[in-house]
Structure 1
Amino acid sequence: MNWKSTHLLLSKTTKKWDIVYPLLDDLCDDYGCYGANNFCRINDRSICEYLEGFVPKSQEEGNFQNWTSGCIRRTQLDCQKGEKFMELEGVKLPDLLEFWVSNDP
């Protein structure tokens, strides 16, 4: 799936890629559209949230509620200061799909 929510499906009969436009149950079903280091909460006023300690990679995009560039750390990671992984609750993880990768040009 690309950032425009377009899926490509390989036809077994024609051996060509067909474009499929999915209907999403909610905006958060489009995984990856918010970039790295942020997440989606459909019930909140602002759909996209940044992880603690992160800021939008592109402030201009953030001003227009476009988060496709993702986020970057506000400060350098320093494990000596006791920084650690944080647990996020109430977020949906991506569905695991089986797919084939083709090395054909």
Structure 2
Amino acid sequence: MNWESMRLLSKTSKKRDIVYPLLHDLCDDYGRCGDNRICRINDRLICECLEGFVPKSQEEWEFQNWTSGCIKRTHLDCQKGEGFMELEGVKLPDLLEFWVSNDP
């Protein structure tokens, strides 16, 4: 794990158990910004919509609750050449912390 943590010594097991993981920065909280947003560590407003997207809930945005994410301003039109864009300097989630299930 990339996290630091607070541990307490358990009297019964005699082991130190993690009771509270501490994040290195606000963007370590995966999902903080919701769908179609970027988390920026050094900016005053941490989350911002990707180009061509707007906040799904302007009211939540104003209270700095970004979890509802962003939605596309207009419908996707592949005939106009819309597609993927390259993003640099993006910190992806640590996939070692996720489990994959093939259950339907």
**TM-score, length basis structure 2:** 0.72
Q: 1:100 to 1:90 in 2, by over 3 A?
A: closer
Gaps of 5+ in 2: 1-16
- Give the superposed CA RMSD: 2.2
Relative to total residues, which structure has the larger strand share, 1 or 2? 2
* Cα deviation, residue 96, structure 1: 1.4
Report 1:1-105 matches (<5 A): 20-98=19-97
How many residue pairs end up in the alignment? 85
**TM-score, length basis structure 1:** 0.72
Q: Which protein has the larger Cα radius of gyration, Structure 1 or Structure 2?
A: 2
Q: 1:81 to 1:101 in 2, by over 3 A?
A: closer
Identity among equivalent positions (%) equals 85
- Which aligned segments of 4 or more residues in structure 1 are displaced greater than 2 angstroms? 18-21, 98-102
Gaps of 5+ in 1: 1-17
| 1:41-92 per-position Cα deviation (integer Å, ceiling 9, x unaligned) | 1012211011011111111001111101111111000011111100111110
